[in-house]
Amino acid sequence: QKEVEQDPGPLSVPEGAIVSLNCTYSNSAFQYFMWYRQYSRKGPELLMYTYSSGNKEDGRFTAQVDKSSKYISLFIRDSQPSDSATYLCAMDSGGYQKVTFGTGTKLQVIP
Amino acid sequence: NAGVTQTPKFRILKIGQSMTLQCAQDMNHNYMYWYRQDPGMGLKLIYYSVGAGITDKGEVPNGYNVSRSTTEDFPLRLELAAPSQTSVYFCASTHQGRSEQYFGPGTRLTVT
């Protein structure tokens, strides 16, 4: 079993839809949770960073962490074609900053 | 701030050739990392460094070497390139004590 599982997609939604992206994990020591956005042929770009359980909102993006279920989510409201990218979840136990990444979910927002 | 920069952007190597992938950051980050990204496989850690003169192996170090003589630079050396090293290579950095990493634009390497 992989430490971090992420559905690869692709996920195709119409413009304006609410998008839900998810990751599950098995290591209960993970405390720091991140979402990266990666456009085609570009480097990953940090989108959201949360510590422990709870929600964090930034504009149209909301990150949610449920440590009891070992499940994290990223919600995108009013999705735009410019949101079309691959979204990587990432998590860390806070030891030596060696982060474990999911394999990414490819999102396409259709105008 | 330029952030994390990587050169070259693209490179084609023949089997057995060597090359160095360059990475530099101007954010005064202590921690620097090299990853490779293959389709459907996510990011795999090759080597990392917690400061000048200190490096350590990651998950997939075979066939690679690194050095860290300054805080800013963290070059990755490929010796005797093999087709299995065809990949996209990303350098990243962060401050000591932080988990969020900042990535460079990547180097796309093909070994034929």
CB contact under 8 A, A101 and B101: no
First to last CA, chain B: 36
- For residue B7, give the nearest of A41, B19, B65 by alpha carbon: B19
Per-residue pLDDT band for A97 (boundaries 50, 70, 90) equals: low
Given this model, what pLDDT does residue B40 score?
79
Residue B22, token pair as written in the block: 């360059």
- For residue A33, give the nearest of A83, A70, A82 by alpha carbon: A70
User: Which residues does chain B have within 8 Å of residue A45's beta carbon, measured at their own beta carbons?
Assistant: 103
User: Which residues does chain B have within 8 Å of residue A34's beta carbon, measured at their own beta carbons?
Assistant: 99-100
Question: What pLDDT, in 10s, does the model give residues A30-54?
Answer: 999 999 999 999 999 999 999 888 8
* Main-chain dihedrals φ then ψ at residue B71, nearest 5 degrees: -65, -35
Per-residue pLDDT band for B97 (boundaries 50, 70, 90) equals: confident
User: Which of B7, B33, B43 should one mutate to test binding to chain A, selecting the residue with the greatest count of A CBs within 10 A?
Assistant: B43
CB contact under 8 A, B105 and A43: yes
Question: What pLDDT, in 10s, does the model give residues B14-55?
Answer: 999 999 999 999 999 999 999 999 987 889 999 999 999 999
Task: With residue B34 as reference, give the H or E element that holds it.
Answer: strand B31-38
Least CB–CB distance from B103: residue in A43, A98, A103: A43
Least CB–CB distance from B43: residue in A32, A42, A101: A101
Q: Is the pLDDT of residue B94 over 80?
A: yes
- For residue B41, give the nearest of A13, A63, A8, A1 by alpha carbon: A8
Q: Output the 3-class SS for A10-40.
A: CEEEECCCCEEEEEEECCCCCCEEEEEEECC
CB pairs under 8 A between A and B: 49
Given this model, what pLDDT does residue A51 score?
87
User: Which of B100, B107, B109, B110 should one mutate to test binding to chain A, selecting the residue with the greatest count of A CBs within 10 A?
Assistant: B100
Q: What is the rounded radius of gyration, in angstroms, for the C-alpha atoms of chain A?
A: 13
Given this model, what pLDDT does residue B18 score?
96
